[in-house]
Structure formats: C-alpha cells, structure tokens
Amino acid sequence: MKSENYNVLGVMSGTSMDGIDLAHVTLSVTNNKWSYAIHEAETVPYPDEWVVRLKEAVNYNEDALLVLDDDYTIFLAGVISSFIIKHSLNDLDAVCSHGHTVLHQPKKRITLQIGNKPTLAKLTGLKIICNFRIQDVQMGGQGAPLVPVGDRLLFSDYDFCLNLGGFSNISFEDIGNRIAYDISPVNTVLNFYANQLGLPYDNGGAIARSGSVVPFLLDALNGLDYYKKSYPKSLGFEYVRDAVLPLMEESSAGIPEKLRTFTTHVAMQLAKEILTIKPAGKLLITGGGAYNSFLIDQLKTMLPDVAVVIPDDKTIQFKEALIFALLGVLKLKDEINVLASVTGAPNNHCSGYIFEP
C-alpha cells in the first residue's frame, strides 16, 4: 500500500473580500484515494485601505494594476509569514496560493490574480505554487471554477457541492464528467447593501428576512441573460458592476426590500439549477453564505427532496483554501488539477506556477 502525505498551507482570497483565508492542512493519498485534515485555520480581515484598493481595482489602468500587484504581494507575504510564526508551523512542503482576482474576462483571454509573483517566494522563504487560472484562460477555457477537482477527490460522497461566497457555484458528476459553473452573484451583492447600513454583512440574513419582495425587481433579476446561458460559464465582479447593481439601483425600494428580493432571487436560481440536475440527493453547502440562515431556509423549502448538509465550521469557511492546497499538491505531482469538462478548455491539464525561494 503506497501512501503519500503533504504538509501544506492553502491561501485564498475570495471575491466577497472578507479577508485572506489561510488553512494549514495535511493531504494524504493512498492507492489514489485522497483524504485531508484541516489544522490551524483563520481568516485575516483586510485593513480598510486594502478593501478600498481591491474594490477600485476593476477600474485601474495597466500601470496602476502593476503597482497594486507589487504592493499586494508584499502585503500577502506578511500575512502568510505572520500566520506561520503565530502557529509555529514547520517543514511546510509548499504554500499554495490563489491570490486575489481583480480582472476576469475569459472571452478576451484575460484573468488577473494579484499576489502571484516570484517575490512571494523570496519574501516568505518558502516554495510557492500559484497562478492556477491563467493557463486555462489562455487555452480558451473559463479559468473557473477550479474547486470541482477537489470536490471530486475529497467530497465524492455528495451528489452536489455548492459554494456560497461572492458568487454561488455548483459541482456534480454527470456520466463520468465533473460539471461545474457559477450560478449567480451572492455576497458580492448582499454585502454591497449591508455595507450601506454600516455592516460588513447581513448577519444570518436577518435584514433580508425583515423586508418584503419587490416583484418587478425579482422578475428583472431572474430575466438576466446570464441565466439563459449553458455551462461552462463563470462570473466576475465586472458582471455585478455592469449588469446586476444597475438593475438593483433602478429600484427605489429600501435596503431591507432589496436584500429580501435578491436573497429570494438567489434561492430561486439555486433551486432551479439543482432540480434540473437531479430532483433528490445530498447537497453539501460551504462558504460564508452557509451562515445565511434565511437563504438556507428558503432553499430548503424549494428543495423538499434534497438533503441539505451544512458541515463543520472549518469546512464551511476554509474548503476553498483546502482545495487550493490540493491543486498545489497536484501541481507538485504533475497531475491533472484543472478539468476541461468544467472550464471548457480543450483538454484536462496541470496548471499553476512553482516559485522557489
């Protein structure tokens, strides 16, 4: 029986800009069967200055993006080094880092995750595996989502894996192929309106629950062109900025009503997709949206024959960091870590850059 063990750090910054997720994990593979353990893990919130810069980055020109990338790499190196010192981590095989997406326009073969520079290895003194999306986009794929290979290898007990973060994305098996795609915006929009009330997010969906649905706005949201497209497909903040928020802002409704309407819209789109795939089964939900009890309650009502599973806190919060750790290990092993059935690329491939200190 051949067994391999990897001691790695997974690092992820999502589109909802909650902060940088860091998860110290052990990944083991025995006879091609993978298992994991999440050890120390935490989310390091962004300082206000960085929240502003990351939100504005979608409007930056090329020179400003270069400066941002350099500055973010230095900042990220500090966050990683502090985490390692704080938790007395030793003998790491690698740091597997997603970086932070500021541009994602796969039709133009453009995607940019800042913080994926050789400088990161030099500043941390560790092997860095990063830049997992760019190769796929250059090949003609969507460059997203990348998590489904981890769903296949680590969470095969579930019929569907649903992540509720800045955007919702789903992953499932279909006749031997892993299928995955973004369904809708989630926290990118909900947090936008919670921020207007001086809150980082709508805790448990309580504000949304207190509001009422705006029927014409709900109809307009459900009528967006994105929902008519077939997969593979993916979303970026540009879509929220250009298509979703302008629609939301056309309504004079109050923030509780907008939050209620958008939450209902999300639940409807999620339920529609899941019922189309399979009307009954076992659904794993992770990401920050798993804590939005109002959204989860609506989804359960719309999916009476689906067993909705909310896992332990570490898996909810750090599943993406865990899976980017896995993507990095697969890169180390020179094994497939991006699935063509998911991204639309011409073939499965092994993506990512390895930087030595």
d(CA 224, CA 226): 6
For position 106, what pLDDT does the model report? 86
For position 9, what pLDDT does the model report? 98
Q: Mean pLDDT over residues 318-329, rounded?
A: 96
How many Cα neighbours within 13 Å face the side chain of 165? 27
Q: Mean pLDDT over residues 286-295, rounded?
A: 96
Please give the CATH number for the structural domain made up of 148-314: 3.30.420.40
Tell me whether residue 356 is exposed, middle or buried, using C-beta atoms within 10 angstroms of its C-beta: 0 to 12, 13 to 18, 19 or more. exposed
Non-local (6+) Cβ contacts of 175 within 8 A are none
**Single pTM value for the model:** 0.85
Residue 152 token pair: 């296949």
Sign of the torsion angle spanned by Cα atoms 304, 306, 312, 317? negative
How high is the mean pLDDT of the chain?
95
d(CA 313, CA 31): 29
pLDDT in tens, 249-277: 999 999 999 999 999 999 999 999 999 99
Instruction: Between 120 and 232, name the one with better pLDDT.
Output: 120
| CA-to-CA dists, residue 355 to 56, 85, 96, angstroms | 28, 21, 10
CATH 3.30.420.40 residue ranges in the chain? 3-144+339-355, 148-314
1 pLDDT band, cuts 50/70/90, is low
Q: Mean pLDDT over residues 346-353, rounded?
A: 97
Pick one of 3.30.420.40, 1.20.1250.20, 3.40.50.1860, 1.10.3720.10 as the CATH number of 3-144+339-355.
3.30.420.40
Highest averaged pLDDT of the listed ranges 12-21, 50-59, 103-112: 50-59
